[in-house]
Amino acid sequence: QVQLAESGGGLVRAGDSLRLSCAASVRTFSPYAAGWFRQAPGKEREFVAAISSSGSSTMYADSVKGRFTISRDNAKRTLYLQMNSLKPEDTAVYYCAARPYISAVERATMYDYWGQGTQVTVSS
């Protein structure tokens, strides 16, 4: 069983940057593809970014492409989301997720393990 814990959220102004981290409590993180999702008030959970188990392949939602970067450090068993040029519409609870397969995917139902979420608020 995999436990995931997000950190790094907070309150920032438009144009600022944040880096989110997701620590995986598992002996080895390398077999798991992973991703980031977010959910704003009154909206469905939406895909943000995903990364293959080795880190060789990544995927991004159009809304964050060019601003956000997903990465991982398997030796540290940690997933990251670097968020630059933040906008008010990025305000949401951000969740990390993992699945015991190689490929990065964008459908939330394909992930088996989820963190508790971390709040990101961007003011204008």
pLDDT value of position 1: 80
Q: How far apart are CA 70 and CA 55, in angstroms?
A: 9
Please give the C-alpha separations between residue 114 and each of 23, 88, 117, in angstroms, as whole numbers. 11, 25, 8
17-49 pLDDT per residue, tens: 999 999 999 999 999 999 999 999 999 999 999
Q: What is the mean pLDDT of residues 47-76?
A: 98
Q: Which residues, listed in sequence order, are joined to residue 10 by a DSSP beta bridge?
A: 120
Report the SS3 class of residue 48.
Answer: strand
pLDDT value of position 49: 98
pLDDT value of position 6: 98
